Structure 1
Amino acid sequence: MSSLNNDTALRPVLELKDVSIVYSSGQQATRVVEQVSFSILPGEVVALVGESGSGKTTTAQSIIGLLAENGHIEHGSILLNGTDISRWSSRRLDSLRGSSISLIPQDPTSSLNPVKTVGEQVAEVLKIHRRMPRKARDARVVELLTRVGLTHPEQRAKQYPHQLSGGMKQRVLIAIAIALQPALIIADEPTSALDVRVQKRILDLIDALRLEFGTAVLFVTHDLALAAERADRLLVFRKGQVQEQGITAEVLRAPKSEYTRQLFNDAPALTPRPLSALAHSAKHADSAIVVRNVSKHFSLGGKNTSAFKALDDVSFEVTRGTTHSLVGESGSGKTTLARLLLGFQRPDSGQLFIDGVDITQLSGEALRQARRKIQLVYQNPFASLDPSQTLFKVIEEPLLNFFKLSADQRRAKVHEIAERVALPLNLLQRKPHELSGGQRQRVALARALILEPQVLVLDEATSALDVTVQAQILRLLVQLQQELGLTYLFISHDLAIVRQISHSVSVLNQGKQVDYGDVESLFTQPTHAYTRELLSAIPGISHLRVAQPTPTKEFV
């Protein structure tokens, strides 16, 4: 968290006064933001937090004039350094974008032009707002890329976005945002697609630049732990309204709103109670999964005759009825290992046992039948469901592939598993786009469970969900594990969730397993330097006490 000099004489860089925003559709107008007021002082970080649809991103977009065409500010004012810009045209706002207000967007991949070099895109903001000789401009581009920590900046300036990693691309966007030292930076979920170590480096960089230039930062995020760690003040949004706002530490210690208390309680990094402890009674002595000396290489293609080691002699076992997590950064081998266990690919060496059967020795119909015992729940519950099918058909389909059952028998099984995952039966005739994210993930779980598998592979299965919905799904997973004796292989980059739901953990780094053990030992006494670095990068506020919610109410 930053150390802000509380000089009340400072004039706010940004001030919103009773801002209401409306979206119009035909003759109907829907107010999505209602009477929002807050301010940001020079050098201050203010975080807007809340679930999807709460109005936080719409509020941020209104400041920089990026509302959708059917959106407009119905009431209120937006003051930048004392000047009301709320009714400025887009053309007039162009004079401020980049120079006085900059935006760091959420997705670095879609935010950069794929046919322009990185250097050209950084130079563009300089061309628009400053007259500089080309040589001086090129030098400034290299200076900016150096400033944001990119190695070999002269070379990077000549590269295209696809040649950079996600973290590198996000640094390029930050270079563009700070090029003209704006008074205000709007950071809209700037690290949501990044691994925990890269996330920490990016946020440290923004913080260092804020301290150096005195820039105000509006931080939009659904990650409450990040907001708690990085912001001077919090604004909690719900259904277009600010539930409460105040100094971060004070809001965390004594939130006034019951919704805020529930939100904090559902955030695993803020209240790291182990959900997995509830499932310990389901343990048995045998192993549902055994990974023994598994290696997998991929050819780099072209003239390069060398191979990429995706997995290098990895071994672990997972006790039946428990949850084992695979953690590590992108490219560490987590997904490759999951694909091997699911039989989608074969290892170059080693053995993979599911329920005592080495699936590396199976093929054809024997492998297809073995897959009944291990099912996959994908990261994105919307993309993984057929949009043209009703939910009933989505859940029923695996039964058609494996069993000869009558229509009545299939209907009974679909209804039974829907009730098991708390999916209302009246939703079964709807299609995926008509459901919320949490409901879609319940459908994905029902589809995976209808074949009565022994093992579920959960590939970032909660990362696309808001914190409250995420907490509901995690509680459901624990409940299902208790009731059905399921074994989970949980793949995640969110170490706070891993600690909450896991019994054991494997840490992968560049294809190697660098740490392995029970969850508490690994989190409290990691043996490898890489693991210690991962753990140190977890945003958290263990030194602050977060108030607990009233347990009888749940927000949906």
Structure 2
Amino acid sequence: MSQAKFNSVLNAPQPVLELKDVSIVYRSGHQSTRVVEQVSFSILPGEVVALVGESGSGKTTTAQSIIGLLAENGHIENGSILLNGTDISRWSSRRLDSLRGSSISLIPQDPTSSLNPVKTVGEQVAEVLKIHRKMSRRDRDARVVELLTRVGLSHPEQRAKQFPHQLSGGMKQRVLIAIAIALQPALIIADEPTSALDVRVQKRILDLIDELRLEFGTAVLFVTHDLALAAERADRLLVFRKGKVQEQGITAEVLRSPKSDYTRQLFTDAPALTPRTGSALSRPAQSTESAIVVRNVSKHFSLGDKNAPAFRALDNVSFQVTRGTTHSLVGESGSGKTTLARLLLGFQRPDGGQLFVDGVDIALLSGEALRQARRKIQLVYQNPFASLDPSQTLFKVIEEPLLNFYKLSREERQTRVHEIADRVALPIELLQRKPHELSGGQRQRVALARALILEPQVLVLDEATSALDVTVQAQILRLLVQLQQDLGLTYLFISHDLATVRQISHSVSVLNQGKQVDYGDVESLFSAPTDAYTRELLSAIPGFSPLHVAERSATKEFV
């Protein structure tokens, strides 16, 4: 070895974390299932390494094994986990307690379920200080306020006295980050830390983690199924599939020339990493007829205090959707998207304005007339895991609308169910199973079949792909495009995923606090938004920029 190379090796920073040939098994009765197999990687100080892959690929299990949070029936079968050179893979949970919070911290996925609802925010931040530091009550309270300030919470003294339910999702996630950085750990494990957040809040949270990484030199293990986020934020990628690492490397290099077929397919399926192509969309045959017309619609809700002004969920919103096209409603939580969908479906009535579906004003209907009108407009919910009756077979789930609206013989109903199952590429042999026996993508196909069996003109898709992995999401989106082309369907697509909106939509409305701040065809809106809020939303879309990633890797400095 040359002297220069020897000096380079000598001066290279020691990895904060190193996994060597780690395999993990789960036991069920007398059977053992290996869910992670011979995984090896390392993370240097100040580096961000992303574990990406579909649900069940082993990425979260790998992350949990590092901090000793595997389920009771899970254990590390072989391999080693080195933290700053010390093997902690066989440490007891009690011994690992000395590391949790001080050397390794976790930012969990769901900020709502991760905080104790009966303790104040300040008490929960202070808890990690109590466990690992000898501090006076005064110093601890001061440190709590300092941490809440550091993570960007307004009025930190007041926030410290509040309970989690009094904070927004983004605020709760900032509290979890404050807990994670309280003792300046060497490693932060961020497990889907922004998946429950709107796109602008997501960007702020990830920017904050990045600032803290640079300030403290903390290594970050970023677990995500969002390839665009990983591409934008990580220095290196590890692609997981069925418990194995398909490939790993510098982010820019993996994105530029992925070696495995699986990785190439993942990148192809990710909307933010794939250029929009007009051929992916159905195009109506010169139709100018509107399937949906929303005209000056407003909706208010009482806040329970008669002296307080009513909450304005929708304020004079107007748009129309050409038959056979897809119109998307985008905006953050509380912007009015779902309220507008509920009005169109007749679940609520507007305080003003008109809502025409196939030429009929839904707002004027009630009773049987409204029930019959719903045959023309059907809803597909966000979560395929919660929207299907777990006690019914899939056949019964799909058949039920026919029983509610038509007098058909058993044979006729069976024919219709089989035809629509075939239409959504759901194998007939699955129809006698129950929802828990299906994957997420199969369940969403069932939800589509149930909505389509009445032959509606309009489908309202309320975050209908957001709960799905990227590959399954791509399959459902392709199915929706094909159904639109074959059946002339009109879609109202509600989503906070702007990359997907750009892929599937013909036109878009942007809602902000109940007002429509932008409206137009998708290309014009994305290339030249007229409102500052829309520009901010678009700037927050995670996406792959080869130059950005290459510059990030080239200028990497370890603090």
Aligned-pair CA distance for 1:306: 1.1
- Which secondary structure does the structure 1 equivalent of 2:374 belong to? helix
CA distance in 2, matches of 1:166, 1:48: 24
TM-score for both structures, normalised by structure 1: 0.96
Aligned-pair CA distance for 1:544: 6.4
Q: Which amino acid aligns with 1:127?
A: K
In structure 2, the residue matched to 1:200 is 203
Matches within 5 A, 1:8-23: 9-23=12-26
CA distance in 1, matches of 2:471, 2:286: 28
Aligned-pair CA distance for 1:164: 0.3
Matches within 5 A, 1:56-75: 56-75=59-78
In structure 2, the residue matched to 1:139 is 142
Q: Which amino acid aligns with 1:257?
A: S
Aligned-pair CA distance for 1:282: 4.7
Q: Does 1:338 align with 2:364?
A: no
Choose the corresponding residue for 1:518, options 517, 521, 527: 521
Q: Is the 8 A contact 1:505 1:517 kept in 2?
A: yes
Aligned-pair CA distance for 1:284: 1.7
Q: Render the CA deviation track for 1:327-356: whole Å, top value 9, x for unaligned.
A: 000000000000000000000000000000
In structure 2, the residue matched to 1:41 is 44
Q: Render the CA deviation track for 1:369-410: whole Å, top value 9, x for unaligned.
A: 001100000000010000000000000000000000000000
In structure 1, the residue matched to 2:246 is 243
Choose the corresponding residue for 1:413, options 412, 416, 425: 416
CA distance in 1, matches of 2:305, 2:369: 35
Q: Mark the runs of 5 or more structure 2 residues left unpaired by the alignment.
A: 1-7, 550-559
Q: Which amino acid aligns with 2:466?
A: S
In structure 1, the residue matched to 2:315 is 312
Matches within 5 A, 1:83-482: 83-274=86-277, 277-282=280-285, 284-482=287-485
Aligned-pair CA distance for 1:274: 3.6
Q: Is the 8 A contact 1:294 1:347 kept in 2?
A: yes
Q: Mark the runs of 5 or more structure 1 residues left unpaired by the alignment.
A: 547-556
CA distance in 1, matches of 2:186, 2:136: 25
CA distance in 1, matches of 2:286, 2:88: 61
Choose the corresponding residue for 1:538, options 538, 541, 544: 541
Q: Which amino acid aligns with 1:202?
A: I
| Percent of matched pairs sharing the same residue | 89
CA distance in 2, matches of 1:438, 1:389: 18
Aligned-pair CA distance for 1:302: 3.1
Aligned-pair CA distance for 1:543: 3.9
Closer/same/farther in 2, CA of residues 239 and 352 from structure 1, 3 Å limit? same
Aligned-pair CA distance for 1:275: 6.1
Q: Which amino acid aligns with 1:20?
A: S
CA distance in 2, matches of 1:545, 1:301: 49
CA distance in 2, matches of 1:187, 1:440: 29
CA distance in 1, matches of 2:237, 2:502: 26
Closer/same/farther in 2, CA of residues 493 and 8 from structure 1, 3 Å limit? farther
Q: Does 1:24 align with 2:53?
A: no
Q: Is the 8 A contact 2:52 2:230 kept in 1?
A: yes
CA distance in 2, matches of 1:7, 1:277: 53
- Which secondary structure does the structure 1 equivalent of 2:272 belong to? coil
Q: Render the CA deviation track for 1:471-514: whole Å, top value 9, x for unaligned.
A: 00000000000000000000000000000000000000000000
Aligned-pair CA distance for 1:273: 2.2
Q: Render the CA deviation track for 1:421-444: whole Å, top value 9, x for unaligned.
A: 000000000000000000000000
CA distance in 2, matches of 1:341, 1:294: 10
In structure 1, the residue matched to 2:554 is none
Q: Which amino acid aligns with 2:203?
A: K
Q: Render the CA deviation track for 1:177-235: whole Å, top value 9, x for unaligned.
A: 00000000000000000000000000000000000000000000000000000000000
CA distance in 1, matches of 2:264, 2:336: 37
CA distance in 1, matches of 2:295, 2:247: 52
CA RMSD, Structure 1 to Structure 2 (Å) = 1.4
Q: Tell me how many residue pairs correspond in the alignment.
A: 542
Aligned-pair CA distance for 1:6: 11
Q: Render the CA deviation track for 1:226-257: whole Å, top value 9, x for unaligned.
A: 00000000000000000000000000000000
Farther off after superposition, 310-319 or 264-273: 264-273
Aligned-pair CA distance for 1:278: 3.3
Q: Which amino acid aligns with 2:302?
A: S
CA distance in 2, matches of 1:163, 1:303: 21
